[in-house]
Amino acid sequence: MRSGWCLGGALLLAAACAPSPARTKVTPPGSARASAVPHALVIDFRDGTPAEEVAERARRWGLPLRFNSVEGARSGIAIADGVDDVDAALARVRGDADVEEAEPLVQVEALAFTPNDPEFGKQWNLRMIHMPEAWDISHGKGVTVAVIDTGIAYEDRDDFVQVPDLAGARFVEGYDFVNDTTHPNDENGHGTHVAGTIAQRTNNGVGVAGVAFEARLMPLKVLDRSGIGNSADIADAIRWAVDHGAKVLNLSLGGPGYSGVMERAVAYARSKGAVVVCAAGNSGQGQVSYPAAYAGAVGVGAVGPDGQLAPYSSYGEALDIVAPGGNTRLGPGNGILQATIDRSDFRKPVLAEYQGTSMATPHVAGVAALLFAAGARSPDEVERALYAGATSDGAWTPRAGHGRLDALGALNALGKTAPGVDWTPLVWSAALLALLLLSLQTKVRPGFLNVLLNPATLLPLLLSTVGLWFLKLLWQRFIGHPPSAAEVLSLPLPDWERILFGRGRLASPVMYSALVPAVTALVAVKWRALRPVVAGLSLGFSAFLLYAAWAKAPGIAYLPFTFLARPWLVLNGLLAALVCRAMLRREARR
């Protein structure tokens, strides 16, 4: 019986690990002549047919046959050009025992969508990020992008006019936070220029093209005619955007002043599943502006057509990626060309070249929309694809972030950028466990393996340090795109609230504390079976929190001063370790 179970288990394991069968495809009806190269044919001889035999057939058939490439000696693929009557030649060739296939030589071309917008040729910026190739994969359809700026020239109303190249673009309800109206029209031109780069009407025979031209634009006006606004309006607009369905937020604005109100708004948007893309600033200095420097924001720097960081672009630790922003120092035609309105007369549509990190930011926002439309389900997935697909020399740098935006690279990276598992907290756990066990008296000290190999201890330890990281991978392998629950379970327990953890980001003091171990320990005082579980959970929390403090983890939200973050993590890490020790002692004395 046991051997039967073993055999059955082996068969099940083999079935689970076997590669899935290829999807069956049906060749649609068509003709090679639809794109045939004139007076040319291709013959696929039996693999390994010697060159002498090919030459003999060429003489017999009266065709100028030659191997197509150096691979021909193995593949047997030969071509003939300058053939007067291709049909007659094919009739002579077909039927030969050594010929596996004979047909007209077919011409193919790169499937790169080239719009018919007359000024597209001047948009070096879109070619730099490989938009023609990326458009073969995604147009951003169905994704709402909020443009939090000076408004958009999207309607003919009173003295306001719609930019002709935005006619037919998709708009959703917006709001004017400057004047408190439901008509966020543009009086400056900045917001319209930005919106055009994101989702300008494309392939309409008018003007220029946009990155995600099937996305929906949400105009939110927070800057007045002179381009000035305040943190309250911006924070309100950020929250309004995500509460009304925006998945991508573009903020081509910023300044040196920190605002906790605005930072919390960015964190709110991120917690709701939106990507917040912000301009790094135009100071030319090594300090990224706010809101780009906030937790959860994607900070965007600018490069010129030469691919170099533009002289005006800010850079620094909070820079995430760079994108085309223009450099007019190189002469005319080196800015970002877009349809907008005349700054001196907002009733006059124009095509204008602007430069700045404001112009770089909508490129990233547009590609983020392409990624959501292509199947990305979270800000994490979008950012990983953006960074993995970027053109770079490798490691992150303060002047280029993760590299230069590449739309095609990002789309190709989508689904292939699952983050590696950071085992460091688990290593910390092992070290802490050794210390805790050595601190116990010899007569009550349990064996190391008894603790580590107890499933009741090991499972909560994994949950609280590295998470069930394999769950998401298995779901993708055998079922498809994982649901939100699987994605959450793949995270360490303190990250289950989806509050990001890392450089410069905020964390919840409720989750990043000893509260969860302490509460479960109170229950375990009565329920003895829970003590191994609480021991593993507490050990994991302790290691996670102490590692976070050691790695200079972010400030904790709601604390009055950011310098209290590391003491908070250390204190709670030690408290969680004491809870683990208490559970180990009680379990050992049973």
- Where residue 184 falls (left for φ over 0; alpha for ψ -120 to 50; beta otherwise) is beta
Instruction: Give the start-to-end residue ranges of the domains of the chain.
Output: 36-106, 120-413, 424-588
DSSP conformational letter for 135:
T
Active-site choice (190, 193, 363, 402): 190
Query: In the beta sheet, which residues pair with residue 175?
Result: 220
Is the pLDDT confidence value at 389 over 80?
A: yes
In this predicted structure, what is the pLDDT of residue 9?
Answer: 33
Least confident piece of the model among 238-247, 319-328, 435-444, 457-466: 435-444
CA trace torsion 283, 288, 289, 290 (10° rounding): 180
**What whole-number distance in Å separates Cα of residue 266 and Cα of residue 249?**
10
pLDDT above 70 coverage of the chain, percent: 80
149 part of the active site: yes
pLDDT tens figures, 454-492:
777 777 887 777 777 667 666 656 665 555 566 566 677
pLDDT tens figures, 323-377:
999 999 999 999 999 999 998 888 899 999 999 999 999 999 999 999 999 989 8
How many CB atoms sit inside 10 A of residue 236's CB? Answer: 19
**What whole-number distance in Å separates Cα of residue 533 and Cα of residue 98?**
71
Active-site choice (138, 139, 149, 320): 149
Do the Cβ atoms of 72 and 42 come closer than 8 Å?
Answer: no
pLDDT tens figures, 14-66:
223 333 333 333 434 445 555 677 888 899 998 888 999 999 999 999 999 99
DSSP string over 453-475: T-HHHHHHHHHHHT-SHHHHHHH
Q: Which helix (H) or strand (E) holds 554?
A: none
pLDDT tens figures, 53-70:
999 999 999 999 998 887
Active-site choice (259, 314, 358, 464): 358
Q: Which pLDDT band holds residue 555 (cuts at 50, 70, 90)?
A: low
**What whole-number distance in Å separates Cα of residue 133 and Cα of residue 53?**
42
**What whole-number distance in Å separates Cα of residue 189 and Cα of residue 2?**
77
Do the Cβ atoms of 336 and 359 come closer than 8 Å?
Answer: yes
Whether the link from the prior residue into 291 is cis, omega within 30° of 0, is yes
Least confident piece of the model among 115-119, 237-241, 296-300: 115-119
In this predicted structure, what is the pLDDT of residue 438?
Answer: 76
In this predicted structure, what is the pLDDT of residue 499?
Answer: 39
pLDDT tens figures, 160-178:
999 999 998 999 999 999 9
DSSP conformational letter for 515:
H
Count, residues in the chain: 590
Q: Quick one: average pLDDT of 575-585?
A: 86
393 part of the active site: no
97: CB partners within 8 A, 6+ apart: none
In this predicted structure, what is the pLDDT of residue 498?
Answer: 44
**What whole-number distance in Å separates Cα of residue 282 and Cα of residue 355?**
10
DSSP string over 84-129: S-HHHHHHHHTT-TTEEEEEEEEP----------TTGGG-HHHHHT
Do the Cβ atoms of 245 and 144 come closer than 8 Å?
Answer: yes
583: CB partners within 8 A, 6+ apart: 521, 524, 531, 532, 534, 535, 538
In this predicted structure, what is the pLDDT of residue 298?
Answer: 96
User: Which CATH superfamily is 36-106 part of?
Assistant: RRM (RNA recognition motif) domain (3.30.70.330)
Fold of 120-413: Rossmann fold (3.40.50)
190 part of the active site: yes
Least confident piece of the model among 220-234, 255-269, 503-517: 503-517
Least confident piece of the model among 279-288, 517-526, 552-561: 552-561
φ, ψ of residue 249 in degrees (nearest 5)? -120, 125
In this predicted structure, what is the pLDDT of residue 2?
Answer: 34
One-letter identity of residue 464: S
